[in-house]
């Protein structure tokens, strides 16, 4: 419906002139136009109906209408133009102005009725008009009552978990007519995460904003920006190391990928050769960014309603597991911590019943960190199987000096365990990991460390080494061939 072969026209008539509205609708219908939407708009002297009509673009269009619109993103631009006031205060003022204008119209009609020169037909017509205007006035008064009611404010006490804001230039990526669009991409992301990790991401809200630069988009979690970069429609993105032998041209755009830290080259679509490896379109890159953030920020995105859904699945299959461990051995907060930690490190929780069985087995562990370690050990074969490539797992490890340095982050004080991290040491370790990975030409970095520091090492290094996988040495039990290929 909303495509480049449609054209639109906007016409206005006064709201109090029913005959003019009827004539307009009949005229446009005869000319082949369909009514797209009708919206009440206030002009300087009256309140008018803005009628938007649409039809398929004519091959030889000889219309003399100057306000035809033919743009892919028409729907979204028009919705912005016609959108209701965002503030209850502004809405209240608007309704009050409408009530005032409505009362003026009623006074004018009353003045007409007081004339002695009216025929019976004229009086009946004006009385009917008066009745219509009075009904509209009552509707406006009720709208004002609803708007000033404190109850309406409660509906605004909520937050959108996951939001994607797009600049004006990227609106075409969300249109329904394209074979590839962001809405369809989000469905694919949700399906992939559900199948691979057992993680169902929430509804994603898309917004257009003027605060972003050209071709920029950002992702917010609970209205806090966590990711921002640019993409280019009608371009294809490749990582620079994928373009061996390719010479960068002035039409290309070279950026640092905010997800991987690698150089990313955006090449105009028309210059991409059919025999090249598949690159990423703007839609696919935005989808990749959404998936990246959905996993990275899972602890903030997943809430207790989500946790309850997992519990309900287990209840349907084996209620004993839930009754036995919640809340006597672990709380809902402990369960949320466990599930989000696993998902954050891309360990599937899809087999949630088996996972609860393992939680039940180790529910007496003293801390939730200990419980996480034991559950991961129980899932170690599955973890290694998913990571192995062609029956082989390439692993790097810390040398004794680095291991001593990292172990020095952990200490004890009068109140118990304490972690003191030296940012310089962490940066040096991260640089060493990246340097070794580049020298060994690793597609992904898998680091093995002792179990007692595994989780904290992941938390620290994941901020500097994108998509790093940190395993406990105790988890390296599998039928696959595990190769230690270097030390940092």
What separation, in Å, do the N-terminal and C-terminal C-alpha atoms of the chain show?
A: 58
Class of domain 385-487: alpha beta
- Residue 471's pLDDT is what? 94
Q: What is the pLDDT of residue 85?
A: 47
Burial 351-378 (b: 16+ CB within 10 A, else e): ebeebbebbbebbebeebbebbbbbbbb
Asked whether the domain spanning 302-378 has the same topology as the one spanning 162-298, the reply is: no
> What residues does each domain of the chain span?
6-74, 88-154, 162-298, 302-378, 385-487
Q: Are the CB atoms for 300 and 339 separated by under 8 Å?
A: no
Q: Which two tokens stand for residue 466?
A: 């994108």
Taking Cα atoms as reference points, which of 410, 399, 408 lies closest to residue 449?
399
Q: Is the peptide bond before 327 cis (omega within 30 degrees of 0)?
A: yes
Structural fold of domain 6-74 = Alpha-Beta Plaits (3.30.70)
Q: Which helix (H) or strand (E) holds 194?
A: helix 182-197
Nearest to 47 by CA among 13, 19, 22: 13
pLDDT of residue 69: 37
- pLDDT of the residue at 97: 87
The total of other beta-carbon atoms located within 10 Å of residue 224's CB is 11
pLDDT of residue 10: 80
DSSP code string of 218-253: EEEETTEEEEEEE--TTEEEEEGGG-TTPPP-TT-E
pLDDT at position 199? 96
Residue 88's H or E segment, with its range, is: helix 88-113
Residue position matching structure tokens 């006064």: 14
Task: Give the model's pLDDT for residue 3.
Answer: 42
Contacts of 65 (CB under 8 A, 6+ apart): 9
* Bridge partners, 8 (sequence order): 54, 69
| Cβ neighbours for 262, distance < 8 A, ≥ 6 positions apart | 239, 240, 241, 256
Count the Cβ atoms, other than its own, within 10 Å of residue 285: 24
Which tokens go with 80? 């912005």
Class of domain 162-298: alpha beta
Q: What is the mean pLDDT of each run of 10 residues along the chain (488 residues)?
A: 60 81 86 80 69 72 40 42 58 86 88 81 84 88 82 70 92 70 88 94 89 94 94 93 88 92 92 86 95 96 94 93 88 94 95 93 85 91 88 91 84 61 84 91 90 90 89 85 90
Q: Among residues 435, 400, 405, which one has the least CA distance to residue 423?
A: 405
The CATH number of the domain covering residues in 302-378: 1.10.8
């Amino acid at each position: 419906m909303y495509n480049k072969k449609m054209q639109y026209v906007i016409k206005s008539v006064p709201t109090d002139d029913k005959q003019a509205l009827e004539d307009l609708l009949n005229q446009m219908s005869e000319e082949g136009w369909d009514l797209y939407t009708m919206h009440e708009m206030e002009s300087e002297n009256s309140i008018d109906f803005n009628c938007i009509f649409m039809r398929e673009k004519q091959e030889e269009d000889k219309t003399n209408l100057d306000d035809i619109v033919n743009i892919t993103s028409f729907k979204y631009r028009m919705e912005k133009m016609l959108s209701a006031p965002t503030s209850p205060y502004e809405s209240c003022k608007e309704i009050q102005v409408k009530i005032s204008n409505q009362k003026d119209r009623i006074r004018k009609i009353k003045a007409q009725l007081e004339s002695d020169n009216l025929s019976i037909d004229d009086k009946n017509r004006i009385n009917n008009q008066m009745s219509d205007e009075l009904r509209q006035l009552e509707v406006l008064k009720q709208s004002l009552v609803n708007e000033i009611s404190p109850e309406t404010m409660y509906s605004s006490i909520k937050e959108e978990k996951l939001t994607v804001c797009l600049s004006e230039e990227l609106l075409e990526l969300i249109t329904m007519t394209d074979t590839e669009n962001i809405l369809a991409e989000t469905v694919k992301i949700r399906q992939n995460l559900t199948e691979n990790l057992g993680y169902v991401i929430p509804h994603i809200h898309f917004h257009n904003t003027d605060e972003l630069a050209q071709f920029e988009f950002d992702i917010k979690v609970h209205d806090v920006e966590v990711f921002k970069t640019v993409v280019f429609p009608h371009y294809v993105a490749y990582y620079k190391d994928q373009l061996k032998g390719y010479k960068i041209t002035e039409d290309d755009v070279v950026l640092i990928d905010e997800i991987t830290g690698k150089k990313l080259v955006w090449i105009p679509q028309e210059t991409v050769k059919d025999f090249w490896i598949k690159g990423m379109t703007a839609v696919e890159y935005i989808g990749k960014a959404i998936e990246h953030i959905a996993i990275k920020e899972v602890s903030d995105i997943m809430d207790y309603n989500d946790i309850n859904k997992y519990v309900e699945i287990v209840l349907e299959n084996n209620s004993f597991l839930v009754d036995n461990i919640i809340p006597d051995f672990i709380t809902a907060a402990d369960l949320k911590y466990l599930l989000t930690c696993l998902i954050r490190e891309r360990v599937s929780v899809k087999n949630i019943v088996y996972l609860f069985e393992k939680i039940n087995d180790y529910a007496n562990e003293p801390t939730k960190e200990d419980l996480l370690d034991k559950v991961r050990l129980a899932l170690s074969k599955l973890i290694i199987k998913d990571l192995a490539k062609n029956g082989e797992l390439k692993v790097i490890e810390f040398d004794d000096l680095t291991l001593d340095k990292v172990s020095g982050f952990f200490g004890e004080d009068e109140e118990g365990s304490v972690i003191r991290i030296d940012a310089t040491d962490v940066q040096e370790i991260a640089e060493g990991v990246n340097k070794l990975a580049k020298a060994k030409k690793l597609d992904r970095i898998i680091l093995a460390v002792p179990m007692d520091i595994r989780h904290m090492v992941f938390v620290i290094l994941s901020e500097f080494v994108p998509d790093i996988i940190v395993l406990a040495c105790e988890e390296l039990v599998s039928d696959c061939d595990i190769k230690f290929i270097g030390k940092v």
